[in-house]
Chains A and B, each alone.
Chain A
């Protein structure tokens, strides 16, 4: 909080450009020269603001420093995937099979899965990821993640909003607040499923809240996107309606010196009109070739279809897409259940990376996979005959690819058994700081003033993990 209330030239905040241009100029002290300093507004926007054109909170703006990642696809593996069965091999566990592990309560539970050195980097990959493993040289695997409280709701909130308990803006909201979005016909932050808390704008303006689409290939789109289709007026009639509305609005605004918000509303109607086709189109995976669909396993695979939609959204300029993939809470029957869960994501995620790469999008799209915590390396007491693992916040893993992330790199480590992160530990706040850095932000400067305090995603914590940045 070193920038708390102590600079007379504070960075701009969304509220500045959500209010009218007049408010905006007044609040920034009219120092146009100052606008560039730490400003979230692009030069073009600043110029626009001065000219009197409306300032759109979602218009794209430059981050603090140039960066490669322009979009994020967050595959949230909710439930807490087991690290020692996926990305953190621990052969030591086998030596203690069914014996009490030194220093730990409970019986060692070696992974039932084998690992193999893969790619040029030779990073060991679990047999559960035959397809994704082929991309290991594009990925940074972080093996030393840790979190504060290993309870699902709290840890999930923490992973997605950086706060344990209180309502705070989500990672995606911060990203769109910082960068705006590139396609004004679509929301900047879209989630496909998941908890509302994980997409909330909280005290950030509502425009930055994630728009959730409970996407399913089985459901008509107008049931998942409210009011997206008109059932009573044909498209050409509606276009005429909007043309007349615009004329009437201009008559109205003329008396009011083109009040910024009134103009923004005219634009919102235009965007809404375009959204009807654009959103309908973006969510229609039938427009893809058979080859592309096969890459993802769509439409048969639910995850495949969702990741394909995610790519279609990113391709259209959507800033942040979160796809929630639940079911990783494997207290028992881990052998079967992990095989299922990993099978659900292996092909689709590999397809996504391949597809992004072939379209030249991987460089600018950060793909993040991970859950809210890891699992014990000992047997869950209640697992019985088909054992599982309990919650563990002290060590877990995640991976990132694309968007300026180093490839073929494994970061940090857990102890000999995989129970606790020990070297190059990465706390959830550190991960958030790193993601913001990949997007071009100094996480300590991306702030929003609320309730008398400058808030940020990383609270007062977080260190960028520089090693994973290429």
Chain B
């Protein structure tokens, strides 16, 4: 939550502060209290003296200003201004054997005692609320007693007499619940339905006609179990379930909307995280290890290098200008993703509903803030030498262009400024505080002396950095006009006179010759003996200095561009180089790799001429498309000196409170006192989350698995199992599965097998009015829900029907928005969180800005337009009719049946035969659009668009990737019919 979204409690708190009678404190006083005193009080005193905690030993509470001032049973504990008379100070110094606080020898450090003494001496300034803020109900006992925070205890499987419903423990729980509620379960679905449902559930793809036929033929026992095993072994399983996880992980290939200025908008390596996830699911990586790898693969002993890709969980989120917002995104994904808790709500105030305090939030904040991204992303895979060479040669061309552009642009800017340095110095000499007269003077200068406004802005902004060259000018410009010649002479004398060597051991800052030592020798030389009468004459000296460089600047740029050296440019003295480079640092070519150049360019002012003409986008395109690009990962590493974060009161950076030690959420910590000092704390965090005794982790996981198989979770909000969520529909079953999940080694595949072989899952989706009336939402699972296919399944199915699907697993992202349309699974689509393609939005693709494990399932006309008019769907209809079993069908009936089998995996009913054949017969040949000319026009336009996109390289756009260009002819009657079946509800739903 942003500061603006303060809830009631925070408002009270604010009101409390403003109504406080404390005379307004200075910033220093407040800071002293917040940084030194509050931590002592809260860490060592509150446990016995806190109104909020309900502890008031000796009648003393210390957690509000008024209470502290009032004192305890023995009277006031402080006398402001007089530490000697304050009982508090006496107590902490342990001077009096009868009054020692904190007791039991936990004496404060000398520093802490000194701080307290100093504070009382200052008058004990105390910015806290006079009375305690109302405690958030989220921290109360009732909130703590919430079921999801209690340990998982596996309940006994209920005894069920019905033989059909007692083989699988899931069924026993479900059946009992149905009986308790007076409901009857549905019969088992047809075998065609079962294989279709299982295929979509486990792989997101429809079964092929052959797979359906084989299953229908196999009447031996265990036939369905074999189908399930085949699907679980399919590499497409990982894509389906990996995608579910990527919804939770708010996966995207771009940074997002807020941070596109000059920065790298696209993540060229996000896909390595995506591929790691696929691999993990396909391997059935135990879920506890899955968690640990994503939080701390870099810290796990013996983890393969490839696992570094898993850390993308933390890094593929949105990036914000404010680092705390980025940290918040990472806390959010950990909280909701693994724990089903909205931890990020505690950023500005204690959580309103759940026992998560601000201290909890900032404990995690410290962990995330102590985690950094390495400047050079680690390589996990190097392609073949030939591919690499090809990539390098292409990269070198692009980088060379950038370098050439860099030296040209820099050279031009420096030539313009340095060639006219006298005027630039004069125009920029007022700095920021400009009066009317000064503004006028600058304007006049600009008008007559060729000073360019943009360059002047750049120069003004950066010349302050170049003390060695312009320091003397700046100092001289500060002198009063009246007495200028004399004062200037003295100053010039000071920095031009030869100085004796600095005696050993002298500190530089006490060295009177400091300025002289720092000033560029060529500048010193030019000023030696000079007696300027006014500031313009000073500026003119600089004019002469630069004029004396002659052609050296051009030579310098040529040498820099040719230099392989990383440090400096050969053939020039340091003094010369410094003079030529100001007000910038010119990098030799050897140091200018793309990362570094990007950094250099991003730090240039916006007005820098040519700043936007670098082809970084083309380089990212190359990284995103070239098979020879070394594969890197978006990993993280611990900071060299990990630090605790301070609680930001009301979430505001300007109001830092006490430090929150790095540790786990208090409500989930068996040992409430444990703090994490070693490293960032990520590894400890991972272990605490992936612990069998964590009450939330397994529940959250099985609730999601259930949701994806049944269309609704036990708890309908998969990312929030806290106090705000609805009660689970089957609490016992949820706990049974959670505990079984852990006991069976955190295996997803074991869970799928258990669920898909349950009678509960295998029910038909049909309805009966009695059950509909009693349980309209099907909370008790008396039927299978009818589920709309998600975006990926809709698109992938089309490719399966048309026989075009490229089933390659893994790899760089493909373009889903443009033609040619990709043959890869939608899972591999480039996801731009700043600009999701319309088609993905229309089909409720998960919003990648935040964790969203459940997708919505809306029905909007854009979906219909896609099925009616998109080239991809019409093209699919064509290709279905071209399939051999359709094209070579013996007669119209067979043809129709074949189309049905491809799309719906079943034969048509008698009524469907009649309707379909009637349609084809009536269609005739009068479909006269489009005209040949229009076809040609459209084709040309599409091609033009593709070329434009390619040329532009688009800083944000998904790269254009290979695929199919749809045909443009009018549809034949059979193709029209196939399209109708594609449009039908049944083809978009899983029954």
Q: Is the CB of A265 closer than 8 A to any CB of chain B?
A: yes
A273 — which chain B residues lie within 8 A by C-beta? 864, 868
B1 — which chain A residues lie within 8 A by C-beta? 166
A233→B320 contact, CB < 8 A:
no
Q: Is the CB of B778 closer than 8 A to any CB of chain A?
A: yes
B4 — which chain A residues lie within 8 A by C-beta? 148, 163-164, 459-461
Given the contacts A22-B778, A265-B859, A451-B342, A232 and B969 also touching, CB distance less than 8 Å: yes
Closest Cβ of chain A to B917, distance in Å, is: 11
Closest Cβ of chain B to A42, distance in Å, is: 20
Q: Is the CB of B874 closer than 8 A to any CB of chain A?
A: yes
Q: Is the CB of B938 closer than 8 A to any CB of chain A?
A: yes
Q: Is the CB of B865 closer than 8 A to any CB of chain A?
A: yes
CA distance A374 to B354 in the complex (A): 42
CA distance A407 to B847 in the complex (A): 42
B776→A1 contact, CB < 8 A:
no
B786 — which chain A residues lie within 8 A by C-beta? 256, 259, 261-262
Q: Is the CB of B127 closer than 8 A to any CB of chain A?
A: no
Q: Is the CB of A422 closer than 8 A to any CB of chain B?
A: no
Chain B interface residue count, Cβ-Cβ cutoff 8 angstroms = 108
A22→B988 contact, CB < 8 A:
no
B911→A261 contact, CB < 8 A:
no
Interface string of B921-940 (1 = CB under 8 A from A): 01100111110001100100
B839→A249 contact, CB < 8 A:
no
Q: Is the CB of A285 closer than 8 A to any CB of chain B?
A: no
Interface string of B733-774 (1 = CB under 8 A from A): 000000000000000000000000000000001111100100
B863→A241 contact, CB < 8 A:
no
CA distance A452 to B344 in the complex (A): 12
Closest Cβ of chain B to A40, distance in Å, is: 17
CA distance A460 to B922 in the complex (A): 62
The residue from A202, A232, A249 contacting B970, defined by CB atoms under 8 A apart: A232
Interface string of B36-61 (1 = CB under 8 A from A): 00000000000000000000000000
A451 — which chain B residues lie within 8 A by C-beta? 342, 345, 719-720
B930→A231 contact, CB < 8 A:
yes
Given the contacts A256-B766, A451-B342, A452-B724, A228 and B865 also touching, CB distance less than 8 Å: yes
The residue from A1, A163, A202, A269 contacting B2, defined by CB atoms under 8 A apart: A163
A259 — which chain B residues lie within 8 A by C-beta? 767, 786
- For window 215-269 of A, CB contacts with B under 8 Å fall at 223, 226-234, 237-238, 240-242, 244-245, 247-249, 251-253, 255-257, 259, 261-262, 264-269
The stretch of B435-443, B516-524, B588-596, B820-828 in contact with A is B435-443
B446 — which chain A residues lie within 8 A by C-beta? 384-385
CA distance A22 to B767 in the complex (A): 12
A207→B258 contact, CB < 8 A:
no
The residue from A4, A107, A245 contacting B983, defined by CB atoms under 8 A apart: A245
- For window 52-74 of A, CB contacts with B under 8 Å fall at 57
A253→B919 contact, CB < 8 A:
no
Q: Is the CB of B284 closer than 8 A to any CB of chain A?
A: no
CA distance A282 to B130 in the complex (A): 63
Closest Cβ of chain B to A161, distance in Å, is: 12
A23→B353 contact, CB < 8 A:
no
Q: Which residue of B lies closest to A18 (CB)?
A: B858
Q: Which residue of B lies closest to A195 (CB)?
A: B257
CA distance A257 to B769 in the complex (A): 8
A227→B930 contact, CB < 8 A:
no
B969 — which chain A residues lie within 8 A by C-beta? 232
A248→B776 contact, CB < 8 A:
no
CA distance A384 to B456 in the complex (A): 11
Interface string of B245-275 (1 = CB under 8 A from A): 0000000000001100000000000000000
- For window 440-469 of A, CB contacts with B under 8 Å fall at 451-453, 459-461
B8 — which chain A residues lie within 8 A by C-beta? 1-2
The residue from A251, A257, A268, A459 contacting B772, defined by CB atoms under 8 A apart: A257
B842 — which chain A residues lie within 8 A by C-beta? 206
Interface string of B1-34 (1 = CB under 8 A from A): 1101111100100000000000000000000000
CA distance A256 to B352 in the complex (A): 42
The residue from A5, A25, A164 contacting B724, defined by CB atoms under 8 A apart: A5
CA distance A227 to B929 in the complex (A): 16
Chain A interface residue count, Cβ-Cβ cutoff 8 angstroms = 86
A266→B436 contact, CB < 8 A:
no
A245→B984 contact, CB < 8 A:
yes
Q: Which residue of B lies closest to A269 (CB)?
A: B864
A237→B862 contact, CB < 8 A:
no
Closest Cβ of chain A to B44, distance in Å, is: 35
Q: Is the CB of A165 closer than 8 A to any CB of chain B?
A: yes
A20 — which chain B residues lie within 8 A by C-beta? 776-777
| Total of A-B residue pairs, C-beta within 8 Å | 246
Interface string of B948-991 (1 = CB under 8 A from A): 00000000000000000000111100001101110111101101
Q: Is the CB of B870 closer than 8 A to any CB of chain A?
A: yes
B988→A227 contact, CB < 8 A:
no
The residue from B849, B858, B864 contacting A167, defined by CB atoms under 8 A apart: B849
CA distance A379 to B442 in the complex (A): 14
Q: Which residue of A lies closest to B991 (CB)?
A: A256
A251 — which chain B residues lie within 8 A by C-beta? 909, 911-912
- For window 256-315 of A, CB contacts with B under 8 Å fall at 256-257, 259, 261-262, 264-269, 271-273, 275-276
Q: Is the CB of B691 closer than 8 A to any CB of chain A?
A: no
A164 — which chain B residues lie within 8 A by C-beta? 2, 4
CA distance A175 to B834 in the complex (A): 23
CA distance A384 to B442 in the complex (A): 8
A344 — which chain B residues lie within 8 A by C-beta? none
Closest Cβ of chain A to B345, distance in Å, is: 8
Closest Cβ of chain A to B323, distance in Å, is: 13
Q: Is the CB of B149 closer than 8 A to any CB of chain A?
A: no
A241→B980 contact, CB < 8 A:
yes
A182 — which chain B residues lie within 8 A by C-beta? none
B927 — which chain A residues lie within 8 A by C-beta? 233-234, 237
Q: Is the CB of B457 closer than 8 A to any CB of chain A?
A: yes
The residue from A203, A223, A265 contacting B988, defined by CB atoms under 8 A apart: A265
- For window 29-67 of A, CB contacts with B under 8 Å fall at 57
B769 — which chain A residues lie within 8 A by C-beta? 257
B868→A272 contact, CB < 8 A:
yes
Q: Which residue of A lies closest to B779 (CB)?
A: A26
The residue from A107, A247, A268 contacting B863, defined by CB atoms under 8 A apart: A268
Q: Is the CB of A95 closer than 8 A to any CB of chain B?
A: no
B970 — which chain A residues lie within 8 A by C-beta? 232-234
The residue from B5, B765, B919 contacting A256, defined by CB atoms under 8 A apart: B765
Interface string of B845-867 (1 = CB under 8 A from A): 00101100000111111111111
CA distance A459 to B979 in the complex (A): 47
Q: Which residue of A lies closest to B864 (CB)?
A: A272
Q: Is the CB of B915 closer than 8 A to any CB of chain A?
A: yes
B911 — which chain A residues lie within 8 A by C-beta? 251
Top 4 closest A-B pairs, CB basis? A22-B776, A452-B724, A272-B864, A257-B767
Further 8 A-B residue pairs, CB within 8 A, beyond A384-B453, A460-B4: A4-B7, A15-B856, A98-B436, A196-B835, A227-B866, A231-B930, A232-B968, A273-B868
Q: A: which residues have CB within 8 A of B? A: 1-2, 4-5, 15, 18, 20-23, 25-27, 57, 98-100, 107, 148, 153, 163-167, 187, 196-197, 202-203, 205-207, 209, 211, 223, 226-234, 237-238, 240-242, 244-245, 247-249, 251-253, 255-257, 259, 261-262, 264-269, 271-273, 275-276, 379, 381-382, 384-385, 451-453, 459-461
- 13 residue pairs A–B, Cβ–Cβ below 8 Å: A18-B856, A107-B439, A206-B860, A211-B862, A228-B865, A232-B930, A233-B874, A237-B927, A238-B868, A248-B981, A257-B766, A267-B859, A272-B868
Q: B: which residues have CB within 8 A of A? A: 1-2, 4-8, 11, 257-258, 320, 322, 325, 342, 345, 352-353, 432, 434-436, 439-440, 442-443, 446-447, 453, 457, 717, 719-720, 722-725, 765-769, 772, 776-779, 786, 788, 834-835, 838-839, 841-842, 844, 847, 849-850, 856-871, 874, 909, 911-912, 915-916, 919, 922-923, 926-930, 934-935, 938, 941, 968-971, 976-977, 979-981, 983-986, 988-989, 991
